[in-house]
Amino acid sequence: MHLSELTHPNQLHGLSISQLEQIGREIREKHLQTVAASGGHLGPGLGVVELTLGLYQTLDLDRDKVIWDVGHQAYPHKLLTGRYDDFHTLRQKQGVAGYLKRSESRFDHFGAGHASTSISAALGMALARDARGEDFKAVAVIGDGALTGGMALEAINHAGHLPNTNLMVVLNDNEMSISPNVGAIPRYLNKLRLSPPMQFLSDNLEGQIKQLPFGESFSPELSRVKEGMKRLAVSKVGAVFEELGFTYVGPVDGHNLEELITTFKEAHKITGPVLVHVSTTKGKGYAIAEKDQVGYHAQSPFDLASGKSKPSSKPKPPSYSKVFANTLTTLAEDNPKIIGITAAMATGTGLTELQKRCPKQYIDVGIAEQHAITLAAGLACEGMRPVATIYSTFLQRAFDQIIHDVCIQKLPVVFAIDRAGLVGADGPTHQGAYDIAYLRHIPNLTVMAPKDEAELQRMVVTSINHTSGPIALRYPRGNGYGVPLMEEGWEPLEIGKGEILRQGDDVLLVAYGSMVNPALQTAEILSEHGLEATVINARFVKPLDTALILPLAKQIGKVVTMEEGCLMGGFGSAIAEAMVDNDLQVPMLRLGIPDLLVDHATPEESMIDLGLTPAQMAERVLKKFKLQAIAVGV
């Protein structure tokens, strides 16, 4: 049987080890060809091929449920569950999603793009199973990096208190999340990985004891002897998990199918929560990815033979992440109080530059955003200048800490919010659509966004200089506009002050952050049709520059707001509230992301779908205010 013939994972049942190994080779080949052609996550899926095959041969996937933590490790799962023919559309608009998606397949039992959720979800399903008197297996597959997230530990703590609830946790241990793992838990797992595997106690132990002269009379004590021997064996291996209430099994070679299948079969027989520790290699089967596990976690389109990315047609300006990181690092070299904090995303946020040049001013807390924010609060209490650099979608996980630990105490923490706005192929779990709305209503917090990479430099300086309370700056994924950058000597901005970029008497365009340049382009299109727009770069959503915006709104009489974020509670809402509070009744159009989830596609495709290209926005402005109609070519 070949991979292309598989339409149901249960077809793996009964296949020989050699047949499974052949399917494994085909999974890796398909995986590599797909990601090389269109880009995507590479290393995580390559590392779990045998784990997936071995686990699925021991389950009935018509009944049993497997919950994958952070679905980018589940590409082999997708290929085994009927998506082979469509796999070439991975992460493309209307194609196969890059993460698990309940609406995509009945085998995707729980969707996830953020880490550390699988054990909680699997335990919930197991408890529902028991409450209904049903009988199916619930299995959570979680990477070792995700164990640094408090939510996973909370779930382990709960599950370990339920000795009669059958739950299997498969720990995919490859010493990596995206970058190498940090902290005590990964260090402990490494000790386990280097220890001799713990085997199940064989039945012949009992037989050997019974051969002793006192063997029969010794039988009542046998369970205590076995338990004592087990404790002795576990003391070097899985003592922590055992003490938390799990039966620990492993470490097992994650690329040995025979060993995996035997281990999973035995583990399924254990009553209560069990943790199977599987040691894998990220990027397995592609030597280039095995050698550079950080660089090949995810890749843009690349050449399979050389592993090198395919060159773009023209040079690109530096990314916002790089501009931010270089600016912060330059400031940190002269200011030892600056501390950059990342939650296992050093590469993505660019903080590897800070780690390289100022290692004592760099902290990676692992996948623990809540801890990152309260850690920053503690640093701020002692006079440091902590800069928590976290993607917009991941900062959501620390919402209470932002309020409770930082803003209420008015601590000077900097929130550097990367990937704010549309992010593309990662889909709804990663869209940075909500940070404007979830931050601007919090007291004591200043919130700003730059129009380009040069203004980002100034905002980094502004944030470090702002010591009267917390401050947040959001910036988008991708490259800047190529505006000239300064190496140093940046001037801070005046808090709460916007700027006029263009004058016009017919309509007022008030834009925030990444939408400022599209607003200027929209104004040029309107000008071609005889309408002149004033364009304001708001810079700050809080405090809002009402002294600049409201008089112009009253004077011009037509207001359009533009933002790359959710409309409900967002930047446009802030303008509308200010107008209402000042008894200003002016026709208004809010442009941004409506009340829907933005699916995976390129950011450009998503902007078209949302009607947020300059041409589309010009047409919407004209239609809203019943002005001259134009034909739009998108």
Q: Is 340 helix (H, G, I), strand (E, B) or coil?
A: strand
Query: Tokens 């209904």 appear where?
Result: 132
Task: Give me the catalytic one of 91, 137, 282, 440.
Answer: 282
537: tokens are 């770069």
Q: Smallest Cα–Cα separation from 16: which of 216, 261, 181? A: 261
282 is catalytic: yes
Q: Count the Cβ atoms, other than its own, within 10 Å of residue 339.
A: 22
Catalytic one of 83, 284, 353, 369: 369
Residue 547, amino acid: A
Tokens in use for 66?
């497997």
Active site residue 397: yes
Please report where in the chains the tokens 């002016």 appear, as a residue. Answer: 586
50 is a catalytic site residue: no
Q: How far apart, in whole angstroms, are the C-alpha atoms of residue 484 and residue 264?
A: 58
Contact predicate 537/449, CB 8 Å:
no
The 3-class secondary structure across 163-197, one letter per residue, is: CCCCEEEEEEECCECCCECCCHHHHHHHHHHCCCC
Of the residues 28, 101, 129, 397, only one is catalytic, namely 397
Quick one: how far is CA 249 from the chain centroid?
29
Round to whole Å and give the CA distance between 220 and 214: 12
Reported residue count of the chain is 634
Q: Enter the tokens of residue 255.
A: 């690329």
**Residues in CB range of 469: below 8 A, 6 or more apart:** 407, 410, 411, 412, 444, 445, 446
Joined tokens for residue 448? 């700003």
In this structure, are strands 499-502 and 533-537 parallel, antiparallel, or unpaired? antiparallel
Residue 5, amino acid: E
Residue keyed to tokens 């390129």: 602
Query: Whose CA is closest to 512, among 527, 526, 498?
Result: 498
Active site residues: 282, 369, 397
